[in-house]
Amino acid sequence: MSVKRVLLKLSGEIFSDEFSLISESSLIRIVKEIKCAINDKVQLAVVIGAGNIWRGTGKFIERVTADKMGMLATVVNSLALSDALRKTGIKSSVFSASGISSFVETFNKENVINYIENGCIAILAGGTGNPFFTTDTTAALRAAEIEADVLLKATQVDGVYDTDPKKNKNAVKFVSLTFKEALDRHLKIMDIYAFSLCMQTKISVVVFDFYKNGNLKRVLNGENVGTLVEA
């Protein structure tokens, strides 16, 4: 698989450890993976979740407010990653769906494309700017807007299985799937809105284990890592 423009979706949990919501060691590892993987042929944008900071709070805080808090939490994670990248000499900037211009830039498709075309990393925060949507949907939407070739979904599992490999030692891993096959099998790869958007825009999705050192580089080099889902 040859790719030029990539949207990398990171979960918020990747940033945390047992002691900190955003740990220094986790940031160093993320940056190391990105730095060894990128080259002058790859244009990279990143969307980050907020599960390390905020997952809502039951029925006490109403859904719209809780989702707004989650969107702000993605900005916190994005600022942390951007700072860590710059410390290693990688130019990066945070673009948010909502206007908080004293902290980050406001998302604009043309500005983001221009930014990544010049070899910098764009970190796309703030969700879609609307409640009721996950960061998976944000990743699919931004991938479509910037015309990405592929969406890389970084997880703790080395691909997509027919059943939960943590519960079933005989679970079978898929090397590749079509969107239709994944839907027919009711495989939980992304939320349905995100998955449908990728299917409509024909943006391939690669699900891979980000916790295995060097995997991001292997994916970008076209190696058979994880599971490829395509039209």
Contacts of 110 (CB under 8 A, 6+ apart): none
Nearest to 198 by CA among 211, 183, 209, 186: 183
Residue 75 has pLDDT above 70, yes or no: yes
- Is residue 17 pLDDT above 70, yes or no? yes
**Is residue 7 pLDDT above 70, yes or no?**
yes
Confidence of residue 111 (pLDDT cuts 50, 70, 90): very high
Nearest to 119 by CA among 39, 199, 196: 39
Domain map of the chain by residue range? 5-230
Pick the CATH number of 5-230 from 3.40.50.1000, 3.40.50.300, 3.30.70.890, 3.40.1160.10: 3.40.1160.10
pLDDT at residue 183 tops 80: yes
With contact defined as beta carbons under 8 Å apart, do 162 and 174 qualify?
yes
Residue 94 is encoded by which pair of tokens?
Answer: 């945070």
Residue 151 has pLDDT above 90, yes or no: yes
Question: How confident is residue 101, by pLDDT bands cut at 50, 70 and 90?
Answer: confident
CA dist 22 and 130 (Å) reads 25
- By three-state DSSP, how is residue 45 classified? strand
Report yes or no: 41 and 4 within 8 Å, Cβ to Cβ: yes
**Confidence class of residue 39 from pLDDT cuts 50, 70 and 90?**
confident
With tokens 């994944």, the residue in question is 182
Give just the sign of the alpha carbon dihedral 10, 154, 120, 31.
positive
Tokens 């942390």 correspond to what residue?
80
Phi, psi torsion values for 84, nearest 5 degrees: -65, -40
- pLDDT at residue 1, as a whole number: 60
Lowest mean per-residue pLDDT among 5-9, 35-39, 200-204: 35-39
pTM: 0.94
Residue 70 has φ and ψ, to the nearest 5°, of -65, -40
DSSP, res 107: P
- Report the candidate in 43, 40, 48 with the shortest Cα–Cα distance to residue 3: 43
